[in-house]
Structure 1
Amino acid sequence: MINRRNRMKIGIDCRLINKVQNTGISRYTEFLIEYYINRFGSENIILISNDDCFEYKGCEILYTKLRPFNILHFLHFSSFVENLGIDLFHVPFYSAFFKKSPDIKIIVTVHDLMYRLVTDFFGTNKLLNNLKIKYFDFIVKKSLLNADKIVSISQTTKKDVFATYGFDSFHIPEDSEIGGEGDYAILERHNLQMKKFYFYCGNNRPHKNLNFIIKIFENNPNLPPLVLAGKGHHDFENVITTGVVTEEELKALYQSATAFVFPSKYEGFGLPVLESLRLGTSVIASKISAFLEFKTQNIFFFELENERDFLEAIDQALSHDFVHDKSFLDYYDKNKIYELNDVMINDLLKK
């Protein structure tokens, strides 16, 4: 448990919370808010947001026009926070402070280094891609250099941070639980049958490798359809899109799918894998470092770009009943993640 300090003020950067798109960073930030309220009390929490409609019961909320990845705004953000009387400030992404603060303990969470490690992440124009990498490098390097603690959400990201920047970090896995009841009306709207479709949720960036599986489902009409949830997707033969879904609809799709499919070439963690497994649905995933960290018999791996391997993984998933894997779920238990955060913060406050 945290060794509390009297009247200690905790700041949390909520500028990337997105209630509409319900992104992974958004859910992670809300998890942090719950954690810090649990440990320090809502009266000691200050949330910083760009959204003047953002509300969180019991917490003080401050609004700023300073955006995380605008380089001019980045230069001024540390000065803005230093005037708030905050003792500890947690930034759930890698745009934090341009300069070191002598009075505030800074924690920065890194989810991935996708912009650095995915080829042509910003596009196929080499000049523009390299310029954008340098732009982000400036923000990310300064943020990590001026952090008192860096949190990596996976061992893969921990290794990437050290290999790329030479900074050590503290590994704390993510937690994500989709609460409430599932809205199964989404199945009827898209003519979907329970346990007779495969599911993917997320964007359609090139590293997500969706074209690989879309072609497989197009060319194999005997397979149950592939359902894609999120922005930027298009219908194809044997491929159905839902657009952006609510939390309740997302829960229903996870629970109703034959398996969740995740064919990415690179990820820092893979939150949908954990969400799917928590809701009792198997996962078919590419054999990449971050996904291999999920040690459970409910995941079936395939080699990247290997269609035969992918189809074999589908057969394996179909022939195995989902097994309740307590040891796996315990590793990602919320209380255990709370305790890891306690260890990290207690260590930070001793310095």
Structure 2
Amino acid sequence: MDINEKILVDGRLLSVNPTGISRYCVKMIGVIAQKYGEKSIVVLVNDAEVMQQDDLLKRLTVKETKLQAFNLLHWILLSFIVFFQKPKAYICLNYSGLCFKRPSLKLVVTVYDLMFAFVKGFFGGGLKDLAGRLYYGVMVPRAIKISDVTLTISEASKQDIKNLYKKEAINMSGGNFLEATPEKGIIGKYKLIDKSYFMYAGNNRPHKNLSQLLRVFSEYKLQHPEAILIIVGHKGVSSNGIIYPGFVSEGELVALYQSAKALVFPSIYEGFGLPVLEAIINGCPVIASDIPAFREFENKNMVFFSTDKQLYDFLNESPIYNKEYLKDITTKFSWKNFSINLEKI
């Protein structure tokens, strides 16, 4: 595949099971294609199957590669490939970027968060953590340093990048990524009652702090034996009122948000926190940990906790959703603002 004088868009974080980052990548690729023309771009992926999830993606030219993002050797090899194949721009939708480039190449790097630098145990603890920090500590600063433009997805991450690497980034947070029709079959499948269950959406990596939610929910259930907690986005063993549907479709996720009593999001660090935005837009109040990224969503459909007692109290008396406050969020997080920021690239 000849990429000479094309815009190479790195879509290696696209996933068949759409994560928040994967959905963001789909939206970014769509906006880039609309701005520069579908025939002007080539999308770099690890598996061409991921391009079948969206009508626009199906029409785009694909370059499949076995080179993985965040692999040090692959990072070097990709830099050579890009150097010799001479695309006119490389828009990397992750923060591995390149380790070197031609002066004429426009390089854009996307930094969703700097979790590896701030979250203890992010790589598994012990020697793994030390090795991971050293590994990423080479790759990420270099990619940011040589980029012409650094993108991020929140003011919190923008400040982290500035503090750690002295680089000004552009906040490219957008609007609603989840625009599917609710598939209500999942509500009946698990015999859920409207506005009677709590939910969590995401993976179970250390920064998600799921242990706090599970600990407090177990205490809450002692006094409320009918309580249900739905955990989507990763697999687990369902028991004692905790149900793991695993990965769900976008339509099923919308249905779960719309029927939930509240979304509980206990992370100790996030670059953005897409489920918070998705929940509020879909009529679901949010109980979230008090961290900078979540404070950007602050509105009257949301409450913040730090301690177990605060979380327990909010489970006991969840926030009531008021549609009147929705406009505050949809105005702040909109694709109109996203398009304005795109002009800065």
Q: Same fold (TM over 0.5)?
A: yes
Q: CA deviation at 1:113?
A: 0.7
Which residue of 268, 272, 283 maps to 1:269?
Answer: 272
| Correspondence list, 1:72-91, <5 A | 72-91=73-92
CA distance in 1, matches of 2:308, 2:157: 28
1:273-316 Cα shifts (integer Å, max 9, x gaps): 1111111111110111110111321111111xx22211333355
Hey, what does 2:35 align to over in structure 1?
A: 39
Which residue of 299, 303, 320 maps to 1:300?
Answer: 303
Which residue of 20, 23, 28 maps to 2:19?
Answer: 23
3-state SS of the aligned residue for 2:49? Answer: coil
- The structure-2 alpha-carbon separation of the partners of 1:336 and 1:117, relative to structure 1 and needing over 3 Å to count, comes to same
**2:283/2:321 contact within 8 Å kept:** no
1:193-220 Cα shifts (integer Å, max 9, x gaps): 1111111111111221112121222222
2:62 partner amino acid: I
Runs of 5+ consecutive residues of structure 2 not aligned to the other structure: 52-56
**1:78/1:101 contact within 8 Å kept:** no
Q: CA deviation at 1:190?
A: 1.3
2:34 partner amino acid: N
Deviates more, 1:241-250 or 1:85-94: 85-94
- The structure-2 alpha-carbon separation of the partners of 1:29 and 1:320, relative to structure 1 and needing over 3 Å to count, comes to closer
Hey, what does 1:280 align to over in structure 2?
A: 283
CA distance in 1, matches of 2:227, 2:114: 34
2:44 partner amino acid: I
**1:89/1:106 contact within 8 Å kept:** yes
- The structure-2 alpha-carbon separation of the partners of 1:319 and 1:179, relative to structure 1 and needing over 3 Å to count, comes to closer
CA distance in 2, matches of 1:101, 1:85: 8
CA distance in 1, matches of 2:21, 2:176: 11
CA distance in 2, matches of 1:101, 1:171: 26
| Correspondence list, 1:40-59, <5 A | 40-55=36-51, 56-59=57-60
CA distance in 2, matches of 1:52, 1:309: 46
Q: CA deviation at 1:322?
A: 4.3
Q: CA deviation at 1:54?
A: 4.1
| Correspondence list, 1:39-188, <5 A | 39-55=35-51, 56-125=57-126, 127-188=127-188
**1:178/1:275 contact within 8 Å kept:** yes
| Correspondence list, 1:246-265, <5 A | 246-265=249-268
Which residue of 233, 236, 243 maps to 1:240?
Answer: 243
CA distance in 1, matches of 2:278, 2:312: 23
* Match status 1:329 vs 2:330: yes
1:212-260 Cα shifts (integer Å, max 9, x gaps): 1212222222163111012243323221111111111111111111111
Deviates more, 1:287-296 or 1:47-56: 47-56
2:10 partner amino acid: D
1:33-82 Cα shifts (integer Å, max 9, x gaps): 11012211211121111114343233211112211122111002122223
Identity %: 32
Hey, what does 1:349 align to over in structure 2?
A: none
3-state SS of the aligned residue for 2:303? Answer: strand
Hey, what does 1:348 align to over in structure 2?
A: none
What CA RMSD, in Å, does the superposition of the two structures yield over aligned residues?
A: 1.9
CA distance in 1, matches of 2:136, 2:312: 38
* Match status 1:190 vs 2:186: no
Hey, what does 1:213 align to over in structure 2?
A: 213
Deviates more, 1:180-189 or 1:215-224: 215-224
1:121-141 Cα shifts (integer Å, max 9, x gaps): 11232x221111101111111
CA distance in 1, matches of 2:236, 2:147: 37
**1:217/1:225 contact within 8 Å kept:** no
